[in-house]
Amino acid sequence: MGGVCGKHAAMAITYKDAGVDIDAGNALVDRIKPLAKATMRPEVLGGIGGFAALCRLPTAYQEPILVSGTDGVGTKLKTAFASGRHDTIGIDLVAMCVNDVLVTGAEPLFFLDYFATGALSVETAATVIAGIAEGCKQSGCALVGGETAELPGLYHGSDYDLAGFCVGVVERSEIRPRGDLREGDVVIGLPSAGLHSNGHSLARKVVFETLGLALDARPALLGGSSVADEMIRPTIIYAPAFAKLREAKLPWKAAAHITGGGLVENPPRIFADDALAVELDPRTWEVPAILKLIASAGVDEHEMRRTFNGGLGMIIVVAPEAAERTVALLAPHAARVVGKLVPRNGGEASRFLA
């Protein structure tokens, strides 16, 4: 029978030799625990470190329906890598998931993250997850767990990817969109902070290649901000605004999170059929400076509208008689009337006044 070569038998090959540092992973878990603890809700049972997270349903619901959402932050990560700014990208991750859940009428309940990298930097990962915890605080949901994967050979160096998973809960009778959308219903817009987390591949191509700008450049159109400031600015989390709607029992009808597909493809997702269209008046809101900069490079208006949020991160549809009250209630969130529902009549589902 053959034996093991003595030279090889003497070698103490470890997981770390293969590129996976278990000690670093354990150190990260220790850093994460207090961050997660600060986001806990009374419904959560246990803490970080188990094989799975357990959570009770809130007792106030008569017929609770669970709502789930998952997302990432796309190539905005490349700007985080290039700029070395990792403190807010976790907020983006939570925002992209939570905002999708909010439009169903749900209250965000808990959140999990997936962080994958080629070589784990405890400092970078802890900074990212601190941002996730901050996003959870803003959303009112608990960070109940996640996964950190060190995958040498699959990811380059310390580059990382992120995914998030949010679960919310809604009373069955309060699920949105409602079935009573009508011609004349009013569209209320909540502003975005800029790019948010969609369209960054086009934004990066235009800003860095077409315009040839560096991250530290401060073109006049940005009003004193640097390119990095605007490219990395975090996505707004709209949970506080929707919490006000729930607390005031304001009967809003539908909402759309303006993400990939922009103002062209997202608003019509509120409709169950092709009878109505969303008519928006671009004169009623401000276009963020970073979007003006991108448009200045020659990106046409339609491409801008179907790629970016255009300055509106969320739209909410209400009956005409509820519009004034809704705008007043959401005044701290800079809410304003931006359009209305109109008959589609075979035309486009999203329309823009000249």
Question: What phi and psi, each to the nearest 5 degrees, are found at residue 193?
Answer: -95, 0
Q: Domain 186-352: which CATH class?
A: alpha beta
Question: What phi and psi, each to the nearest 5 degrees, are found at residue 251?
Answer: -85, 65
Torsion (CA) 216, 222, 228, 229 in degrees, nearest 10:
120
pLDDT at 17: 85
Q: How far apart are CA 90 and CA 83, in angstroms?
A: 15
pLDDT at 354: 82
First to last CA, the chain: 85
pLDDT at 5: 53
How is the chain split into domains, by residue range?
Answer: 11-174, 186-352
Closest CA to 181 of 258, 252, 112: 252
> Domain 11-174 is of which CATH architecture?
2-Layer Sandwich (3.30)
Q: What is the pTM of this model?
A: 0.94
- Tens-level pLDDT at each residue, the chain (354 residues): 445 555 555 568 988 888 888 899 899 989 989 999 999 999 999 777 789 999 999 999 999 999 999 999 999 999 999 999 999 999 999 999 999 999 999 999 999 999 999 999 999 999 999 999 999 999 999 999 999 999 999 998 889 999 999 999 999 999 999 999 999 999 999 999 999 999 999 999 999 999 999 999 999 999 999 999 999 999 999 999 999 999 999 999 999 999 999 999 999 999 999 999 999 999 999 999 999 999 999 999 999 999 999 999 999 999 999 999 999 999 999 999 999 999 999 999 999 998
Q: Is omega for the bond preceding 177 within 30 degrees of 0, making it cis?
A: yes
* Total H helices, total E strands in the chain: 12, 12
Closest CA to 325 of 235, 272, 239, 251: 251
